[in-house]
Structure 1
Amino acid sequence: FQGDDGSRPTALRFSQCNGLQVKGLKHRNSQQNHVSINGCDGADISNLDIRATATSPNTDGIDISASTNVRIHDCLVATGDDCIAIKGGTSNVHISNIACGPGHGISIGSLGEAGGHDQVEGISITNSSFTRTENGVRIKTWQGGSGFAKNITFSRITFVAADNPVIIDQYYCPHKKCADKTFAVKISDVRYSGLHGTSIGKQATINFSCSEVVPCTNIVMDDVDIESADPSHHSTTAHCNNAHGTAHAVHPPVNCLINH
């Protein structure tokens, strides 16, 4: 199948499939996304072995869009982009037992590109590991978009030398020139529980970069301990901008959350 830009193809694409089951496949070096799930209800994806070189661009492992009631479990994903990406129009996704790395981690988004309206809700990622990934668990939205990402849980996650383990970014823009707009996709009701491991990041280990006009709300952190993989050269830190929530038993301390 041709890619979104009409050039490099996605290796395996499923559209408008109900009760879909994909199991036990091995993918190597897709030219673009390895597996795409679009407009599906009730998909079960398991025991996939997906690999591409760490430097290969846009080689997402599994992309999900406009789909509901999706289970992804017991997979190994090592690529040059997101291990799993969850796009707009998606709800009730349960991801577990994923070994991710190398790659860009597991991302919700990007959402709201080019002023678009996107909705994502009811997402859980649990019992998964991120080894030498560029990011860990990430929510990313463009300025100028609308909609929401809510009811999201990250639990029992292990990081091994991850670069940016925990990120919410409402200013996502991979281009050199980015829009400066006040609208934003609303992010709320996000819970982080039982996240442990190490980071090699020189920037903030926990980074909540939220919109002043549409701030992040009800961010809850509990039992989070991320240490530096190289404490002699850098320490773990937290950064928050317009993020509201609570943190209990969290290292590095996230005192920057607005607690009300």
Structure 2
Amino acid sequence: MQDRLVSLLIFSIVLSGLIDIGYSKRTFDVLNYRAVGDGEADDSEAFVNAWKALCGADEVGDAPTLVIPKGKTFLLQPIEFEGPCRPKRVHIQVLGNVVAPKTVDAWKECPSSNTWLQFTNVANLILDGSGTINGQGSPWWSNSIANQYISFINVNEKSCERPRALQFNRCDNLRLSGLTHVNSPKAHIGINHCINVDVSHLTIIAPAESPNTDGIDISNSINVNIHDSFIGTGDDCIAINSGSSNINITNIACGPGHGISVGSLGKNGAHETVENVYVRDCSFNGTQNGARIKTWQGGSGYAKNIVFEKITLVAAKNPIIIDQFYCDAKAKISCDNHMTSAVTVSEVRYFAFEGTSGSEEAITLNCNQIHGCQNIVMEEIHITSAVPSKKIYASCSHAKGTCNDSTVPVSCLDK
């Protein structure tokens, strides 16, 4: 396991310096493609045309750059930016504001793949700048909150699922940095089937009560480095889903939200896997969870080689939680907690946790009675109650491993 951690650290250092950005003199300003930028006119066609020019540019010199200028607000309907592109590398610089339609009725159609803005098969994409991407999700949340079991809304007499704001599919060597992402109807950023990704210096914000507004969702991706960012939303700050490995997360301030989660895995009996995850120097402020691993009963696969290290807690509920009986009541799925199969959880290390718990149950290891959780290691776990007069405790079942130097005794782990 130590060798894997060293490999992850080397990967994060290399990836952070992998892309030497040379800003091109070949720029494609969306205003030159008849974008208006007043926040009212539909600028979708201008963006599509600017993208076609960028993606089809000749391969000469530095990466061509699509510029979204400062001081303008661009209203966009759902768009898919497709590759592959002719240049080996393409750059999108967001200096202004990009906004979704203000109301559900203003969406002209259901978004493709339930996504507002989508990049597919674009290798070596750089998306950066000081601008804002605003999903204007409030009207979508209102419907979902009114009926927790429905995430569909009628758009022009069609039933549309709430869209995520920004999705990257099969975009290898992707770099995202600098932007502010706010108020997505659902998840803010999705990274799917990507290899070698660096995400840094982002601000992702949505109200604590906004449903399913994950900050960053990772799935089926390898070598992902997320660092130096603030994420405060209504769901997971970062979710690491099936098919993901070599995930390095450092210096993330999370809260509000549901913490940094591995999973959920194994829903509807699926075989799903996550491995080689390293979370370090992160903080959880007022979150519903801290370091979380969640799996459904009846699934198969594994979550293994996972480290949470140097974690700061400020009134975070459930600072440490493994739940092999996860069930989302809002999903209207029967939760059978007597199934024998489960996604196995093993080789998980928690080291140097400091701060306060917002719940009396500070540590939860709720593991399957057949497979259990194996090789769980806790060291230097210094957690106290956020309310000085209250005591905190650990709940532990069917977990094996060791616990040393912890202010919270964990009965099923050896000392």
Which TM bucket (shorter chain)? over 0.9
Distance 1:50 1:159 in 2: 19
Match of 2:277 among 123, 137, 143: 123
Per the alignment, in what secondary structure is the counterpart of residue 114 of structure 1? helix
Return the structure number with greater strand share.
Answer: 1
For 2:229 and 2:358, locate their aligned partners in 1 and report how far apart those are by CA, in whole Å: 24
Hey, what's the Cα distance between the residues in 1 that align with 2:393 and 2:340?
A: 27
Residue 365 of structure 2 is aligned to residue 211 of structure 1:
no
| 2:257 matches 1:96 | no
SS at match of 2:412: coil
Q: Residue 43 of structure 1 corresponds to which residue in structure 2?
A: 197
Which stretches in structure 2 are left out of the alignment for 5+ residues? 1-110, 116-150, 152-159
Match of residue 351 from structure 2: 193
- Asked which structure has the greater CA Rg, the reply is 2
- For the 8 Å contact 1:18–1:42, the answer to whether it is kept is yes
Q: CA deviation at 1:254?
A: 1.3
- Post-superposition Cα deviations, 1:178-226, rounded to whole Å, max 9, x if no partner, equal 1231110000000000111001203x20110000111100000011111
Query: Larger deviation: 161-170 or 2-11?
Result: 2-11
**SS in structure 1 opposite 2:196?**
coil
* Aligned match of 2:392: 236
Structure 1: runs of 5 or more not aligned: none
Q: Name the SS of the counterpart of 1:214 in structure 2.
A: coil
CA apart distance, 1:256? 2.4
Residue 297 of structure 2 contacts residue 342 of structure 2 at CA under 8 Å; is this kept in 1?
A: yes
Q: CA deviation at 1:155?
A: 0.1
Structure 2: distance between partners of 1:129 and 1:110:
21
- The one of 304, 314, 325 equivalent to 1:171 is 325
Following superposition, the deviation at residue 255 of structure 1 comes to: 2.5
Residues 3-62 of structure 1: per-residue CA shift (max 9 Å, x gap)? 387511111100101100011110110000000000000000111100000000000000
Residue identity matched to 1:187 = V
- Find 2:175's aligned residue among 21, 24, 29: 21
How many Å separate the matches in 2 of 1:148 and 1:8? 30
Equivalent pair of 2:398/2:412 in contact (CA under 8 Å):
no
Distance in 1 between the 2:393 and 2:367 partners?
17
Compute the displacement of 1:108 (Å): 0.2
1:185 maps to amino acid? V
Partner of 2:379: 222
Q: Is contact 1:238-1:256 (8 Å) kept?
A: no
Please say if 1:54 is aligned against 2:212.
no
Q: Distance in 1 between matches of 2:370 and 2:286?
A: 34
Provide the TM-score with structure 2 as the length reference.
Answer: 0.61
Aligned to 1:161: 315
What is the TM-score of this pair, normalised by structure 1? 0.96
Matches within 5 A, 1:124-139: 124-139=278-293
The alignment partner of 2:161 has SS state of coil
SS in 2 for 1:42: strand
The SS at the match of 1:205 is strand
Output the amino acid matched with 2:351.
S
Match of 2:59 in 1: none
The 5 A counterparts of 1:76-115 are: 76-115=230-269
Residues in 2 aligned to 1:134 and 1:3: alpha-carbon distance in whole angstroms: 26
Instruction: Indicate if the aligned counterparts of 1:3 and 1:32 stay in contact, CA closer than 8 A.
Output: no
- C-alpha separation in 2, matches of 1:51 and 1:244: 38
Q: 1:3 aligns with which of 96, 110, 114?
A: 114
The CA deviation at 1:90 is 0.3
Alpha-carbon distance in structure 2 between the residues aligned to 1:207 and 1:167: 5
The 5 A counterparts of 1:135-150 are 135-150=289-304
The residue identity in structure 1 corresponding to 2:346 is S
RMSD of aligned Cα (Å) = 1.4
Q: Alignment identity in percent?
A: 53
Q: Where do 4+ consecutive residues of structure 1 move more than 2 Å?
A: 1-6
Higher relative contact order (CA 8 A, sep 6+): 1
Please state how far the C-alpha of 1:231 moved relative to its aligned partner. 2.8
Structure 2 match to 1:69: 223
What is the Cα deviation at residue 154 of structure 1? Answer: 0.3
For 1:83, the aligned partner's letter is C
